[in-house]
Amino acid sequence: MSQATRVTPQASAEPVWVRRTLLTVALLFLTLFLFIPLLAVFYEALRKGLGVYLAAVIDPYALAAIRLTLLSAAIAVPLNLLFGVAAAWAIAKFEFHGKSVLITLIDLPFAVSPVIAGLLYVLLFGAHGWLGPWLGAHDLQIIFAVPGIVLATVFVTVPFVARELIPLLQAQGSEEEEAALVLGASGWLTFWRITLPNMQWGLLYGVVLCTARAMGEFGAVSVVSGHIRGLTNTLPLHVEILYNEYQFAAAFACASLLTLLALVMLALKVAIERRAVRQRQAALAVEAP
């Protein structure tokens, strides 16, 4: 048979025409919905020439938007990393009541529409919100300012690291940590020398997913931002403004930066997955004899 990777007996393989049809349908679908859009971003960005592209990217408003996007990711990712490690330690290493409820609650931000997440902070900190009058009296601004954007970004990315680490640490158990403690290592030393190396790939994987989402978030950030150019615009919001002003080439130029970032994240994800698989296989090979 023509299958190269697996030796399959004739009886349990599909007829050739079925195989060709399925392959064609799958690739046609992915071409229409993935590959053409991916190419189109770069085509539209470069359509008016490299000069227009570069001008759009080094425009002061675009640079300010890039800075804000990096800033909010630089705050949101470490916070959620710390949260993810703490939550995974508490949940995976100890048995306590209400654990499954806690795991469900950590996933809650995934179930809440991003727009609603943004709305919650407006209801809380906006001029007409619960704390609005108090914040106004003390000259503090959260909504339509940078703190609101950071908060919204943190909210939508809360579960990413925790979600990768909890099942990983649960699967690994705590025998190694217990052995280290019994031999006299301190809690911190055990964490740094045993737990952290064991979970490094899962941790990186979670960080990659968290970063991709933090830099690309649109709905939640859009609600709290107020769209003030140069001050509260993130890069995705800047893309929206340019597009709505019919500056298509500039919009796609900025969009192409975000697309490149997405491609880098995908490449990192694949590389990390491969490393994690190799580490697991190495661990199994050590245990086997």
Partner 1 sequence: MPRFRQPSVLPGFGLTLGFTLAYLGFIVFIPLALGFAQAFELSFAEFWRTVTAPRVVASYQLTFGAAFLAAAFNALLGLIVAWVLVRYSFPGKRLVDALVDLPFALPTAVAGITLATLYSSNGWIGQYFKLLGIKVAFTPLGVVVALVFISLPFVVRTVQPVLEDLEPEVEEAAASLGANRWQIFRRVIFPALRPALLTGFTLAFARAVGEYGSVIFIAGNLPMVSEITSLLIVSKLEQYDYRGAAAVSVVLLVLSFLLLLVINLLQRWGRIRQGWEQAS
Contacts with partner 1 by CB under 8 A: the residue count is: 104
Binding part of the chain for partner 1, among 59-67, 198-206, 209-217, 277-285 by CB under 8 A, reads 209-217
Site for partner 1 in 51-90 (CB under 8 A): 79, 82-83, 86-87, 89-90
Site string for partner 1, 216-245 (x = CB under 8 A): xxxx--xx-----------xxx-xx--x--
C-alpha 200/C-alpha 195 separation (Å) is 9
Residue 123 or 146: the one with the smaller Cβ distance to partner 1 is 123
Binder among 229, 248, 276, 279 for partner 1 (CB under 8 A): 248
Out of 52, 57, 63, 102, point to the residue binding partner 1 (CB under 8 A): 102
Binder to partner 1 among 212, 250, 253, 272 (CB under 8 A)?
212
Query: According to CB under 8 A, which one of 60, 94, 100, 285 is a site residue for partner 1?
Result: 94
Mapped onto helix, strand or coil, the DSSP state of residue 10 is: helix
Q: Which of 151, 106, 157 is nearest to 125 (CA)?
A: 151
Question: Rounded to 5 degrees, what are φ and ψ at 69?
Answer: -60, -45
Cα 190 to Cα 171, 174, 178, 182, 261: the distances in Å are 18, 11, 9, 11, 35
Q: Rounded CA gap, 235 and 66, in Å?
A: 5
CA angle (245, 246, 251) in 5-degree steps: 90
**In the range 253-282, which residues lie near partner 1 by CB under 8 A?**
255, 258-259, 262-263, 265-267, 269-270
Q: How far apart are CA 108 and CA 120, in angstroms?
A: 14
Given 155, 199, 203, 207, the residue binding partner 1 (CB under 8 A):
155
CB of 170 to partner 1, least distance (A): 14
180, 173 in Cβ contact below 8 A? no
Residue-wise DSSP of 179-203: HHHHTT--HHHHIIIIIHHHHHHHH
- Amino acid at the residue 181: L
- At its nearest, how many Å lie between partner 1 and the CB of residue 32? 7
Is residue 41 helix, strand or coil?
helix
Q: Which of residues 15-34 bind partner 1 (CB under 8 A)?
A: 15, 18-19, 22-23, 25-27, 29-30, 32-34
Contact segment (CB under 8 A) with partner 1 among 54-62, 181-189, 199-207, 279-287 equals 181-189
CB of 270 to partner 1, least distance (A): 5
Note whether 105 binds partner 1 by CB under 8 A: yes
Q: Which two tokens stand for residue 151?
A: 């908060």
Is the Cα torsion angle 86, 92, 95, 98 positive or negative in sign? positive
Q: Which is nearer to partner 1, 235 or 289 (CB)?
A: 235
- Contact status: 192 vs partner 1 (CB under 8 A): no
Stretch that binds partner 1, among 8-16, 52-60, 198-206, 276-284 (CB under 8 A): 8-16
